[in-house]
Amino acid sequence: MATKIIYFTVNGRPERAELPLDCPAQDLKDLFRSAAEARPHDILKLYNPKGNLINISPRLEPNNPSSCYKLEVVAADCTSELLGVELAVALGFNFSTMEKRLQGLEKKILAQAVETPAVVYEMKKQVDLFREKLEVNVKASRVWSTSAGWGCSRSCLMDHTNPPLSTTRDLYAKPVMRSNTSLEVSEEVRQYLKTPSFDNWQWEDAEIMVLLQVMYTDLDFIATFNIEPEVLQHFLFEVYRRYNNIPFHNFKHCFCVTQMMYGLIWMTDLKSKIDSIDLLTMLTSAVCHDLDHTGYNNAYQINARTELALRYNDISPLENHHSAVAFEILEKRESNIFRNLTIEQYKRIREGIIQCILATDMTKHNEILSKFKTILPVFDFKNKDHKDVVITLMMILIKVSDISNEARPMEVAEPWLDCLLQEFYNQGDMEKLEGLPVTPFMDRDKVTKPSSQTGFIRFVLMPLFIELANLFPCLEQHIVYPVRKALDYYTEMEKALERDKQNRAQEKASKSKESPPGSQAASDAQTASVQECSKTAAQ
């Protein structure tokens, strides 16, 4: 078997690792974690001889003792006094109020039902778990490296220049913004960032902020549109703050969508085909496309008659809200990355961002895809008058980016599916509790991982990705082929689950046949006795 040798130091101690050329990413991470004697929640960082942060991935280049990599462990310890309920109060949480609301719901349900539904107990459990997580987060979420000038004292934990959000985001936002300028990105990472195989799970929020700045820089937006670096940083900081800590539609999802958009721009050489201002519109739309997502989709908003549904008359409530929040951020001069544009340029970008974000509403999927199919035969990048054609392409690109997880390697994509299902199940539980229709694919009692994916990939992803690849054939290998593999994977998983279900049914039937003689007769006699007693009572 072909192998490669990696030399590295950890805590000043030289280490040598020999591993297969096709070593899986997780095995490589486990190897480094073991060598560093790291704990499960510790963060590993690898640096090249120049001191640049590099990616821990199977692409890691072999080296020699004179060009050792440096492995560091970012310990997850913190001696902050803000623990548990004190931290919750500092962040605007009130567990007492939450628990009282749960008790009120339970009393209301008991007045109408024989027993409390399991979902209420689950919600109680989640409140208790969340209390524990807050206590743990203060200790375990301190992932800023002092070597990069990161850190946080009690005073900065309490430094809220804005009202606290209903998340823990503000707790870490300022240190993240303060520290991100001290990080450097190697050329290897810059190139890796342009590929659909990029693994977001290896990167912390502070590093993600730097990678987003790299995208704006490498696409020449800083120079072309006179975007001051500190304004870009402040814009990204405000964006970071406005993504909630929910299972799927969070800041890391924002990054993944933006990174895929960035990759598509490079892979299709869009820089030479459309105006820079349209590229800036697309990248910024991706950054902002799920701002302040609540974790409950439009169907819930409309059925529950939420404030958002009422405000936007049931028309894409979430997408309208995401767009509105984006422009709230851009209205502030210190975070307005478009402040040096002309009025006409700003107007064009604002119109484009709104259209792109609204295009992520899946109820518009068929309409947008049909329009793209119609214009595809006459698509001409040289015709600058085809404004409608370009905006349709922009909408298709953000749609592809938004639902592109299955185009990534399975070790990156599958954890995202787990996150999505968790968010879906949470909504389904809430809909059951509130007596609302349970949205399709959100009932934890009916939906499995493969059943949620096979139809979605076959009827939504594949038609969309294939049409984009018809315009850009190079995308066949980058995004269409991986999605086909994902479909095969989940189809096989679904078949395996079905076989397992059938086997269990057969075992149950076999056990039933093996029951003691006369047991069925005894059961029939007992049923008849009960029926007779019922008749007597009725008379």
The catalytic site residues sit at 249
- Residue environment code for 313-333, b if the CB has 16+ CB neighbours within 10 A, otherwise e: eeebbbbbbbbbbbeebbeee
* Residue 35 tokens, joined: 């060598």
* Residue 522 tokens, joined: 């005894």
Q: Which segments of 141-204 does DSSP mark as H helices, in order?
A: 154-157, 169-179, 187-192
Maximum C-alpha span of the chain: 97
Q: How far apart are CA 198 and CA 189, in angstroms?
A: 9
Compute CA distances 347 → 227, 236, 281, 338, 487, whole Å. 17, 21, 11, 10, 41
DSSP-based three-state secondary structure for 20: strand
Q: How far apart are CA 265 and CA 214, in angstroms?
A: 14
Q: How far apart are CA 73 and CA 38, in angstroms?
A: 7
Inter-residue contact 219 to 271 (CB < 8 Å): yes
Inter-residue contact 181 to 233 (CB < 8 Å): yes
Q: How far apart are CA 213 and CA 190, in angstroms?
A: 11
User: Which among 254, 243, 284, 267 is positioned nearest to 193, based on CA atoms?
Assistant: 267
Strands laid side by side in the 53-54 sheet: 13-20, 3-10, 69-74, 43-47, 53-54
Residue that has been written with the tokens 């294939």 in this structure: 466
Q: How far apart are CA 424 and CA 434, in angstroms?
A: 15
Q: How far apart are CA 157 and CA 172, in angstroms?
A: 8
* Residue 290 tokens, joined: 């799920």
CA of residue 315 relative to chain centroid, distance: 24
DSSP-based three-state secondary structure for 10: strand
Inter-residue contact 406 to 413 (CB < 8 Å): yes
Inter-residue contact 2 to 20 (CB < 8 Å): yes
Inter-residue contact 74 to 140 (CB < 8 Å): no
